[in-house]
Amino acid sequence: MRTSWADSEEAEAAAAPSTIINNGVVPNSGAAAAVAGNSRPARSAYVPPHLRNRPPSSTPPPPAVSAPPAANTRWGGGGGRSGGSFGRAASNTRTGGWDRGREREVNPFGDDVDVEPPFVQQENSGINFDAYEDIPVDTSGDNVPPAVNAFSEIDLGDALNLNIRRCKYVKPTPVQRHAIPISIAGRDLMACAQTGSGKTAAFCFPIISGIMKGQYAQRPRGSRTAYPLALILSPTRELSCQIHDEARKFSYQTGVRVVVAYGGAPINQQLRDLERGVDILVATPGRLVDLLERARVSLQMVQYLALDEADRMLDMGFEPQIRRIVEQMDMPPRGVRQTMLFSATFPKEIQRLASDFLSNYIFLAVGRVGSSTDLIVQRVEFVQESDKRSHLMDLLHAQRENGTHGKQALTLVFVETKKGADALEHWLCINGFPATSIHGDRSQQEREHALRLFKSGATPILVATDVAARGLDIPHVAHVVNFDLPNDIDDYVHRIGRTGRAGKTGLATAFFNENNSSLARALAELMQESNQEVPAWLSRYAARSSYGGGGRNRRSGGGRFGGRDFRKDSSFNRSGGGGDYYGGGRSNSGYGASGSSYGGGYGAGVTSAWD
């Protein structure tokens, strides 16, 4: 039954030293944090107002000070306290825990659990690391921990290391090489890295490892309130599901429990999952607020906060909700918890908002603006609104003829509106193209069904709104069509990033017409930076729009890199900063210097972002 790796896990656990700070909570990595000059104070037993004077039926919050070390097992396993380190919480602690061995952890890897995974990369799941060689990286902040070249340089723990091998991750991607040591050192992080470059693992590994190593005050058993140690927020339900699935793989047989909560799905199963115990809660904001209001979740024990697609989470629609969760509930304040923000794009005014959540953080930028741009061939075609459908049909026909090995390549078609998505899906279907759609007016069941049909290739065309623009990892998307271009270049970056993932190549085609002229300049610049062929007519549009002040100046940082730390930008450190960002007043003030190839002071800094 037990395989060799499990045995070595035991040995590791037995050999591991036990360090327990008797305040109930051990800082994530006190030593490293101290080295970094950022040691975190022990949390006091603060009880937030809304949790005081609760009816006696509910169990009081976990005793932060009085919990004897011997009771510090995360699962409350009587007498089963782990020696203080890796792996021990896996199978043996579980039997003493509150699930008493009733449940077996579902193997997220399929049947080959007990087989030592092959080290040969399989064609479909391996990451093409050659595509990540020689990528520009920039970090800023105090005492930045050095990058690593191999997972083995970091002590992530045997159980997690095995899962990493099972995932066939042979070596860390660039963002992982930098972000993981930073996070392991206990530092807050704002990370900007290309789409498809492995951000999920970059924040999951340190969280899982930290929870495995940490000794936390026992959380009450039998309470209807769940006390996650880590919270991961994302902007869409499907993305939360995906992160949950990934995190489950990474935490398989580590004893670390991952639960997902999102809207549109029955809440009862989610409540049951929470009651069984949760270390890492992955959630969308709305459902989390619901759970917090019902007092079914408390953020009191949260040691790690991760925001995926962080710029999206802090834009106008989301910001109040996120602020409420992070600042107005019972989550430990910044500097006490560890906070990690990730995205492929990070506009400076959003960085300024985000800095409220961070303490002495490190800014990390990996790779060029947004996408794995060299891997994605970007085309822009001038297509009038009335011609879009027939033009799309031409593309799909051509693709069908190129059809690789019987199965049609997956094509993701982005449109601007939910109605437009329905209409286009219907039109494609009646014209003999197997299409489905995903957007916010469809039921969650329909959304998930559509995604499955698409992923499986059963319906190789998916029409989508921006709900599918960010984060979704759909292997084998060969072509992204921007049937309607977005108004924001960052959205474009995220959309085309649905292809060209994990080092594979992809194609992105955009339909451009007069309605998109406000995007022309940013689009032309992005394409130029990505070594793409910019049509002459697009350059003319770009030059034209740079005069009339058309369009927002919303570059995510410009230059050849994924972003620039706004703290380096003096205009953002004066008088509240970003007011000038939209170019309302002085046209140059949001950026470091001028130098745009399109002149006019518009887009200043695009070519000089790294001076």
Q: State yes or no: residue 554 binds DNA (CB under 7 A).
A: no
Residue 158 or 466: the one with the smaller Cβ distance to DNA is 466
Residue 464 or 478: the one with the smaller Cβ distance to DNA is 464
The DSSP bridge partners found for residue 507 are 377, 479
Give residues with Cβ within 8 angstroms of 558, minimum separation 6.
Answer: 369, 525, 564, 591, 603, 605, 606, 607, 609
Q: State yes or no: residue 83 binds DNA (CB under 7 A).
A: no
Q: Which region among 80-88, 106-114, 278-286, 299-307 touches DNA (by CB under 7 A)?
A: 278-286
Kindly tell me the sign of the dihedral angle through the C-alpha atoms of 174, 178, 183, 185.
Answer: positive
Both tokens of 139, joined, read 């970090």
Query: What letter represents residue 182's amino acid?
Result: I
Q: State yes or no: residue 284 binds DNA (CB under 7 A).
A: yes
Q: Which region among 64-72, 414-422, 496-504, 563-571 touches DNA (by CB under 7 A)?
A: 414-422
Total chain residues near DNA (CB under 7 A): 36
Residue-by-residue DSSP string for 395-458: HHHHHHHH--SSSPPEEEEE-S-HHHHHHHHHHHHHTT--EEEE-TTS-HHHHHHHHHHHHHTS
Closest distance of CB 73 from DNA, Å: 32
Q: Which of 306, 296, 362 is nearest to 337 (CA)?
A: 306
Residue 547 or 582: the one with the smaller Cβ distance to DNA is 582
Q: State yes or no: residue 466 binds DNA (CB under 7 A).
A: yes
Residue 324 or 567: the one with the smaller Cβ distance to DNA is 324
Phi, psi angles (nearest 5°) of residue 241: -60, -45
Rounded CA gap, 38 and 22, in Å?
20
168 CB-side CA count, 13 A? 15
Q: Pick from 181, 198, 285, 497: which binds DNA (CB under 7 A)?
A: 285
Of residues 477-496, those binding DNA (CB under 7 A): 487-488
Q: Pick from 88, 94, 187, 287: which binds DNA (CB under 7 A)?
A: 287
Q: Pick from 288, 350, 480, 489: which binds DNA (CB under 7 A)?
A: 288
Both tokens of 84, joined, read 């203080």
356 CB-side CA count, 13 A? 16
Residue 408 or 465: the one with the smaller Cβ distance to DNA is 465
Q: State yes or no: residue 446 binds DNA (CB under 7 A).
A: no
Largest separation between any pair of C-alpha atoms in the chain: 73
Q: State yes or no: residue 441 binds DNA (CB under 7 A).
A: yes
Q: Which of 236, 234, 232 is nearest to 467 (CA)?
A: 236
Closest distance of CB 422 from DNA, Å: 10
Residue 167 or 469: the one with the smaller Cβ distance to DNA is 469
Residue 176 or 270: the one with the smaller Cβ distance to DNA is 270
Q: Pick from 177, 178, 237, 498: which binds DNA (CB under 7 A)?
A: 237
Q: State yes or no: residue 267 binds DNA (CB under 7 A).
A: yes
Contact residues for DNA, defined by CB under 7 A: 235-238, 262-265, 267, 283-290, 293, 315-318, 321, 416-420, 439-441, 465-467, 487-488
